[in-house]
Amino acid sequence: MKPIRKAVFPVAGLGTRFLPATKAMPKEMLTVVDRPVIQHVVDEAREAGIEHFIFVTGRNKAVIEDHFDKQVELEATLERRGKDAELAELEDSLPGPGQTSFTRQQAPLGLGHAVWCARELVGNEPFALLLPDMVMQDEPGCLKQMLDTYAGLDEPANVIAVEQVPEDQTFRYGIVGVGEEVGRAFRITGMVEKPAPGTAPSNLIISGRYILQPEIFSLLAEHQTGAGGEIQLTDAMLRLAENQSFYGYHFRGKSFDCGNKIGFLSANVSFALARPDIAPEFRVALKELLEAE
């Protein structure tokens, strides 16, 4: 089985649910505690052993490229001031030279189109896809768990992280149909993007982490539009499933949809409560706020 070396991060969405914060700043740079959302997701990919980080960007997203670059003057200042911990933190959070690539989607035609824009950078090898809206909290991270499962499969298949939602919420998501179980994974029997209420094949949602085979690109190249008039990744995956296996993987840990306000605020609370340097004081502040309500 070919190893997964590359990860794609589609960051070309408009982030309209966070206006006006996202008027001039990408939503991926909103912070969960003290790290941008995109940093949390890149960290998850680095932990899983990913060697090359491909960002599909759009207008107003140049700051993401700057974020993953060395800040020579800042580092020199930190060194002069003896701020060793901050310096180490900056160095730790940076992929190495030549490990990042950036390409433009040009127009936000849908997630499927954003993934297709990465085709030349990915080439003819399987790859990971991480939607930066979803921030996961667990050790090991979701992608590492998925890669371990992928390594145990006896065929070059596709793997999608899934999680449960209440039945009445399925219309908001991509939903999978559930077949034969294989450890923590199962064979996917079907997929549907944002099914009409009452028609979903299960309550398991596609939750923003994928391992995909490169054959997905030729299907995305047809630029067929689906739900919401967008070029949907789910539709191309459904067609790929006619020839290749797809597995769903129940990941361990919490997930936060940072593309919406409640998910984003919950992520901040949960990550702050998990930080030994912040949690004791924050717990008291949070309690006071809740009691004063």
Peptide bond between residue 201 and the one before it cis (omega within 30 degrees of 0):
no
Stretch that binds ligand UTP, among 12-20, 82-90, 154-162, 199-207 (CB under 6 A): 12-20
Stretch that binds ligand UTP, among 73-81, 102-110, 159-167, 219-227 (CB under 6 A): 102-110
CA angle 155, 156, 159 (to 5 degrees): 105
Compute the least distance from the CB of residue 74 to ligand UTP, in Å.
Answer: 27
Q: Which of 6, 10, 40, 127 binds ligand UTP (CB under 6 A)?
A: 10
Residue 226 interacts with ligand UTP (CB under 6 A): yes or no: no
Site mask for ligand UTP (CB under 6 A), range 256-275, x = bound? ---x----------------
Closest to ligand UTP by CB, 12 or 136: 12
Compute the least distance from the CB of residue 28 to ligand UTP, in Å.
Answer: 7
Residue 111 interacts with ligand UTP (CB under 6 A): yes or no: yes
In 3D space, the residue among 131, 266, 116, 143 whose CA is nearest the CA of residue 211 turns out to be 143
Site mask for ligand UTP (CB under 6 A), range 115-144, x = bound? ----------------xxx-----------
> Which tokens hold the place of 202?
């299960």
Compute the least distance from the CB of residue 76 to ligand UTP, in Å.
Answer: 34
The C-alpha atoms of residue 267 and residue 287 are separated, in whole angstroms, by 17
Separation of CA 196 from chain center = 25
- Please work out the total of residues on this chain that contact ligand UTP, with binding judged by CB under 6 A: 20
Closest to ligand UTP by CB, 100 or 149: 100
Stretch that binds ligand UTP, among 110-118, 136-144, 247-255, 262-270 (CB under 6 A): 110-118
Compute the least distance from the CB of residue 245 to ligand UTP, in Å.
Answer: 25
Q: Which of 4, 7, 8, 11 binds ligand UTP (CB under 6 A)?
A: 11
Compute the least distance from the CB of residue 189 to ligand UTP, in Å.
Answer: 24
Contact 163, 204 (CB under 8 A): yes
Site mask for ligand UTP (CB under 6 A), range 232-261, x = bound? ---------------------------x--
The C-alpha atoms of residue 133 and residue 135 are separated, in whole angstroms, by 6
Which residues would be at the binding site for ligand UTP (CB under 6 A)? 10-17, 56, 105, 108-111, 113-114, 131-133, 259
